[in-house]
């Protein structure tokens, strides 16, 4: 579910490199926390198979014993949806970067160690790729103790790199930005480099479904710029109803991504001039048809919007990593933060209108896509294989 509409031709997407060698096996460690981590994992698998290699995904929560993974997911989901203050407190305690010793995620991750080792050995994996911070703690722990025989390349998918992404045992970290690279190196000394976000190629190209979305937008709100409001896979947001009323009252067509939150979708559908959507399968078309994204988490929807050439405005972010990520994106110059209603309306009026403000923001967002994570992952696997044969 991502927007954009720009007269400029989209840039060439980072090409998946071709080499003479194939047949390497990737084990991608994801987590069913929303949809963002799994979306990145699926794109890595697609690229690897297109390249002639093989890849599979494992959910680190499924590797945890005693139902701990399911409990962790339910707790996180319930916290961000119903008790955001509780998640904010936990984030400050466990995750936010800062000085001093604080609890880490390694003890929990260690409970999945035996299962991951067995899976890596059984599948003949050449490299393990965590795309979730608990997976990074797990692989770092195993590598530091010599219990995982193949390298681990952590793909850090957050703009605000919290401390649970860091473990000195991992072989390298691939980050969204150079700022994140410096944080990783300064914290752990781990090899790190920037490769930009991992986004499916459909978001860079002209989207066949965009015309159908534009027709729907014109039918529901003729002359009103369509603005997508992202609430994530779980439909989580702060005062979305108030934001929707603000936009409808000021000449915009709010298109709300409610994910699997059917109650939210039903409630917002009762508001005139609003398009409330459940799970959207044509995100490239939607994002190419819209004029801006109002984002609350700096997650995968936001980077898909940047790839599609859609200006992003952060507003009322979810607590913890969402708030930190939204502000970090804005500090990089790829998006804006609207702290109040007036700022939101001002940003949307500038960025939905054709002109230099819109084009500058689109160009800055697309400049993030500097490379291909798969290139570095395969290079790490090949280097390890060569050293093992010596």
How many domains does the chain fold into?
2
Contact present, 277 and 240 (Cβ < 8 Å): no
* Angstrom distance (rounded) from CA 221 to CA 225: 8
Helical pair 240-248 and 262-269, crossing angle rounded to 10 deg: 30
Same domain, 221 and 362: yes
- Based on the fold, state whether residues 141 and 217 are members of the same structural domain: no
pLDDT at 10 over 80: no
Q: What is the pLDDT of residue 87?
A: 74
Residue 149 has pLDDT above 80, yes or no: yes
Whether pLDDT at 120 is above 70: yes
Residue 89 — very low, low, confident or very high, per pLDDT cuts 50/70/90? confident
pTM of the model: 0.88
Is 188 found in the same domain as 259? Answer: no
**Strand partners of residue 192:** 173
Residue 167 domain boundaries: 25-201+370-389
Residue 17 counted as domain residue: no
Q: How confident is the model at residue 16 (pLDDT cuts 50, 70, 90)?
A: very low
High-pLDDT (> 90) share of the chain, %: 72
Q: How is residue 130 written in tokens?
A: 């965590």
Contact 365, 306 (CB under 8 A): yes
- How many other C-beta atoms lie within 10 A of the C-beta of residue 331? 13
Tell me, yes or no, whether 172 and 215 share the same domain: no
Tell me the DSSP string of 177-188.
Answer: SHHHHHHHHHHH
pLDDT digits (tens, 9 = 90+) for 266-314: 999 888 999 999 999 999 999 999 999 999 999 999 999 999 999 999 9
Q: Are residues 254 and 164 in the same domain?
A: no
pLDDT of residue 18: 38
Of the candidates 173, 111, 118, the residue with the CA atom closest to the CA atom of residue 138: 111
pLDDT digit string (tens) for 64-87? 999 999 998 888 888 777 777 777
pLDDT value of position 15: 38
Please determine, for residue 102, whether its predicted confidence score (pLDDT) is greater than 50.
no
Residue 367 DSSP label: T
Q: Is the pLDDT of residue 110 over 90?
A: no
């Amino acid at each position: 579910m991502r927007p954009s509409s720009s007269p400029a031709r989209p840039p060439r997407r980072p090409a998946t490199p071709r080499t003479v060698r194939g047949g390497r096996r990737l084990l991608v460690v994801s987590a069913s926390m929303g949809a963002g981590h799994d979306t990145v994992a699926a794109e890595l698998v697609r690229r690897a198979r297109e390249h002639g290699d093989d890849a599979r995904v494992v959910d680190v929560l499924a590797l945890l014993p005693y139902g701990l993974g399911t409990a962790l997911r339910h707790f996180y989901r319930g916290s961000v949806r119903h008790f955001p203050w509780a998640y904010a407190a936990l984030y400050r305690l466990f995750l936010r970067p800062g000085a001093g010793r604080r609890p880490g995620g390694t003890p929990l991750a260690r409970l999945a160690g035996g299962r991951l080792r067995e899976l890596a050995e059984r599948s003949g994996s050449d490299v393990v790729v965590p795309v979730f911070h608990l997976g990074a703690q797990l692989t770092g722990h195993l590598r530091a103790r010599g219990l995982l025989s193949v390298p681990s390349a952590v793909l850090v998918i957050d703009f605000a790199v919290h401390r649970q992404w860091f473990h000195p045992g991992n072989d390298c970290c691939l980050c969204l930005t150079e700022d994140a690279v410096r944080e990783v190196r300064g914290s752990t000394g781990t090899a790190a480099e920037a490769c930009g976000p991992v986004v499916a190629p459909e978001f860079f190209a002209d989207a066949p479904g965009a015309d159908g979305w534009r027709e729907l937008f014109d039918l529901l709100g003729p002359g009103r710029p369509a603005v997508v409001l992202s609430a994530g896979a779980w439909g989580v947001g702060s005062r979305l109803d108030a934001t929707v009323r603000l936009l409808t009252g000021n000449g915009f067509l709010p298109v709300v991504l409610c994910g699997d939150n059917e109650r939210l979708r039903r409630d917002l559908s009762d508001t005139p001039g609003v398009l409330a959507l459940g799970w959207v399968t044509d995100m490239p078309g939607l994002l190419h048809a819209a004029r801006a994204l109002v984002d609350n988490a700096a997650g995968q929807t936001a980077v898909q919007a940047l790839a599609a050439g859609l200006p992003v405005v952060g507003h009322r972010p979810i607590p913890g990593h969402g708030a930190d990520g939204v502000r970090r994106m804005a500090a990089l110059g790829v998006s804006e933060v609207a702290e109040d209603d007036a700022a939101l309306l001002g940003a949307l009026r500038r960025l939905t209108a054709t002109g230099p403000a819109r084009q500058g923001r689109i160009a800055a967002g697309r400049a993030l896509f500097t490379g291909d994570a798969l290139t570095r992952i395969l290079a790490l696997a090949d280097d390890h294989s060569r050293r093992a044969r010596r």
